[in-house]
Amino acid sequence: MKTLMLGNEAVARGLYEAGCSFVSSYPGTPSTEITECVAKYEEVYAEWAPNEKVALEAAFGASLAGKRSFCAMKHVGLNVAADPLFTISYTGVNAGLIIGVADDAGMHSSQNEQDSRHYAKSSKIPMLEPSDSAEGLAFAKLAYELSEKFDTAVLLKMCTRVSHSQSVVETGERQVPAQKKYEKNPAKYIMMPAYAKKKHPLVEERTKALTEWAETTEINRIEPGEKKTYGIITSSTCYQYVKEALGDTYPVLKLGMIWPMPEKKIKDFAATVEKLIVVEELDGFIEAHCRNLGLAVSGKELFSGIGELSQNIVKEKLGQAVKAGETLSEEIPARPPVMCAGCPHRSLFYVLKKLNLTVLGDIGCYTLGAVAPLNAIDTTVCMGASVSGLHGFVKAQDEEAAGRTVAVIGDSTFIHSGVTGLINIAYNESNSTVIILDNSITGMTGHQQNPTTGYNLKGDPCTKIDLESLCHAVGIKRVRVVDPYDMEACQTAIKEELAAMEPSVIISRRPCALLKYVKHPGPICADPEKCKGCKACMNIGCPAISMENGKVKIDNTLCVGCGVCGQLCKFGALSAEGGR
């Protein structure tokens, strides 16, 4: 049956059809929907793991036990999973194992623009790269065949435009291979030096065999062109931009496997064209391979390694005219993302700003606390870095400065990799104050359950990790809970914990305002008679509040009635009365 599917949904379908039986992932845009979609198939066991390293190791365990398994992550998640990745390259697999990784050129929803293809080369694990949904489905199935044939995990590399574009796929039936028997094999699975030394040459042999396969496989295909002036090597979404821009004008070598790449096939292709051009996003990965083969090639000198490419960019760089439409002469104000109306993070950030604290931030919706007018966050690096960074910052400062610094981290991020930093704070005794923003969900990626919510990926009730007990257990004696909507209580708690001469954790607890089960009282009433136009309420950056003719105005379609603005108004112009 022909249907329209997101790239991520198509990969999930491919996993299902290939008989994948175990999935463990950590959410991350743009990879999240692969796992959400595969979880909808009853036959597939699927879970959210606390982080990507755990996810990959769990998937490896399932492969060892003999079932086809999978894990997904975003590009930066692969950094977290890199430790098992490099050694799983040596052990190989029992049943097939696929690692899905989704890059985010253009940084639609990421903190950096790293190119995951380097991981394939450095870990010596083959990588397939689909260019649309149909290939997403087909490559997922093919990846299992490769995985079992060559005794290796396989990386399936997505990107924002392939993950989050819908295109036409044809679905098939699910076929589950018989579960493979697990057999003890120390030389294969115990990677201590004696065995690992024997394994490494086998990994190099495997790469040679995979390179041979790359020479003949249909997924590395040459599409003929009318002119030989250029020959283009490309892959992933860039292939689609090339075909859109140039049609069948020039011959194209489309690589479906991005590592290892063929050698002879590329040389032969280069020999048939006048000028060899590589069209790829981010780094010159294919280009470097061509240079290693001794070929003259143009790549990054034409196509920027920063941000995304497009059909117009391909045309322009190859000397064809491109005409943009007309623009207005007006200055069009930007519309950056903002914290939602009623977001429990907003009021806490307001208090942090008011107290003029140094705030080490983390990854999640609350990163938006960095933007005006809150401007409450000093740093954002990676998952968990707020907590571990705070420890170093506090240790390196005098006592007085330490009393003006906090870390903020969400519930899911804390479990992902904040808790190890907290253990360091307790163990090495820094006078740190960590604020866990517990909104009872993984928010930014679109509401995924996590170990603190009491529900699993399939939506069933499960063991709930108690954050207070966890913090106590790792050695933090001062643990207290506040309601972020109560700004006075937040301020008191933060001041007291900063003054305390030992580590402490403040859990700022209120569910995300977008969660379906959260009941809101209804919009606040703005009283223009009482409003003096002082704009104190504007300092929290709520999208539901604006000024009209010098008076405060509430957008009733957005306001949920959290009442935070009312706490800022000295004149009682924003109240729950009347408006609800």
Partner 1 sequence: METKNIMIVGVGGQGTLLASKLLGRLLLTKGYDVKVSEVHGMSQRGGSVVTYVRWGDRVCSPIIDKGQADCILSFELLEAARYTDFLKPGGRIIVNSQQINPMPVIAGAAVYPENLAEKMSALDAQVDAFDALTLAEAAGSSKAVNLVLMGRLAKHFDFTDEEWMDAIEHSVPPKFLEMNKKAFESGKNA
How near is the Cβ of 496 to partner 1 at its closest, in Å? 32
Nearer to partner 1, 7 or 50 (CB): 7
How near is the Cβ of 296 to partner 1 at its closest, in Å? 28
How near is the Cβ of 222 to partner 1 at its closest, in Å? 17
**CB distance 64 to 91 below 8 Å:** no
Rounded to whole angstroms, what are the CA distances from 35 to 14, 99, 108, 232, 413? 12, 12, 20, 34, 18
Report the interface residues with partner 1, using CB under 8 A: 2-4, 6, 29-30, 32-33, 108-109, 132, 161-162, 164-168, 237, 240-241, 243-245, 310-312, 322-328, 330-340, 365, 368, 371-373, 444-446, 538, 541, 543, 545-547, 557
One DSSP character per residue, 398-423 reads: -HHHHTTEEEEEEHHHIIIIIHHHHH
Question: How far apart are the C-alpha atoms of 537 and 545, rounded to whole Å?
Answer: 8
How near is the Cβ of 104 to partner 1 at its closest, in Å? 8
How near is the Cβ of 524 to partner 1 at its closest, in Å? 16
Nearer to partner 1, 29 or 217 (CB): 29
Per DSSP, what are the bridge partners of residue 74? 102
Rounded to whole angstroms, what are the CA distances from 532 to 350, 448, 537, 543, 575? 21, 42, 11, 20, 15
Nearer to partner 1, 76 or 498 (CB): 76
What is the H or E stretch that residue 4 is in? strand 2-6
CA 2 to chain centroid, in Å, comes to 29
- Helix/strand/coil for 547: strand
Quickly count: other Cβ atoms within 10 Å of residue 165's Cβ. Answer: 17
Nearer to partner 1, 3 or 428 (CB): 3
Nearer to partner 1, 161 or 353 (CB): 161
How near is the Cβ of 209 to partner 1 at its closest, in Å? 33
What is the H or E stretch that residue 24 is in? strand 22-25
Nearer to partner 1, 88 or 314 (CB): 314
Nearer to partner 1, 106 or 454 (CB): 106
Rounded to whole angstroms, what are the CA distances from 149 to 63, 145, 421? 14, 6, 41
**CB distance 55 to 101 below 8 Å:** no
Give the closest residue to 28 by CA, choosing from 70, 68, 78. Answer: 78
How near is the Cβ of 186 to partner 1 at its closest, in Å? 44
Nearer to partner 1, 372 or 501 (CB): 372
How near is the Cβ of 372 to partner 1 at its closest, in Å? 6
How near is the Cβ of 483 to partner 1 at its closest, in Å? 22
Question: How far apart are the C-alpha atoms of 143 and 153, rounded to whole Å?
Answer: 9
Nearer to partner 1, 373 or 521 (CB): 373
The alpha carbon dihedral of 333, 336, 338, 340 has a sign of positive
**CB distance 221 to 266 below 8 Å:** no
